[in-house]
Amino acid sequence: MSQYESDQIKSSINALGLDRHVELGLTVSPLASVATSTAKALAAYLDSHPVVPVRLAGLGTQGGRVVFTLGVTMGSLEDVKTGAPGAREAVLLLQSLVDDFAAHDPAFAILPETHSLEARLAHEVTVGARRVELATAVERLVAAV
């Protein structure tokens, strides 16, 4: 296979969105008492940074805290390997999340399994058939803590 053909196949795969991406998990864990306001601040913050793809990958509770797990996409393997602008933007976004939400112990974490309780709840908030507002979901969680 020639280099040209190889590049063509790669660009076709990219066009279909089938190339492998690197996604990192980051948890933000506010105390239950400030969870709702943190959820709003987090949503507003991510809305103001649309360049880097971020999804809510998990929503749960742990030891009196509400845990938001964010899935931050750094880009394709090629972007990460070559330090493409998108991948570097993702690093900057992670840095500012770590700095701006420092009071809520932002920390890297593994992304929850698709069928876990946390992932299902996050799915309901974002794209589920019975979609609920994030703030409402958090209020329900806080009540259960």
Partner 1 sequence: MADSAVDPDDDDLILTSGDREARRVPPLVVDGLSESEILAFAPPMVCDRVHWDTVDPFDARELVPVLAAHAPPIEAYSRQWSDGQHRIWVPEGLGHEARQVLRDWCEANGVEAVNVRVVAGVPFRNLDLIPGTLLADLIAAAVDWLYPRLAAVRRKLVADLELVEDEDVRSMMYLFVSDHMDRFDAGREGRNGTLTLLAFLIGKLRNWPQDAARQAQGRPVVSDRLAIAKASDAFAATHQRAPSEVELADALGMSVTDLRRRQQTIDTLSGMRNYQSIDAGSRDDEGMTLEVADEVDVEADATERTRNAQLTRAVMAAVNDPSSTGKRAQDPLALAAVYLSFWEGMSRPEVARELDVLPKTASAAVKRVLDSVAESGLT
Closer of 46 and 87 to partner 1 (Cβ): 87
Binding residues for partner 1 restricted to 29-88, rule: CB under 8 A: 29, 62-65, 74-75, 77, 79-81, 83-84, 87-88
Closer of 20 and 131 to partner 1 (Cβ): 20
- Shortest Cβ distance from residue 110 to partner 1 (Å)? 5
- Shortest Cβ distance from residue 139 to partner 1 (Å)? 20
Q: For residue 140, give the nearest of 20, 5, 39, 2 by alpha carbon.
A: 39
Structure tokens at 124: 């309901």
Q: Is 98 exposed, middle or buried (0-12, 13-18, 19+ CB in 10 A)?
A: middle
Report how many residues bind partner 1 under the rule CB under 8 A.
36
Amino acid at 14: N
Closer of 90 and 138 to partner 1 (Cβ): 90
Output the CA torsion sign for 107, 57, 103, 144: negative
Query: Applying CB under 8 A, which residues contact partner 1?
Result: 20, 22, 24-27, 29, 62-65, 74-75, 77, 79-81, 83-84, 87-88, 90-92, 94-95, 98, 102, 105-110, 116-117
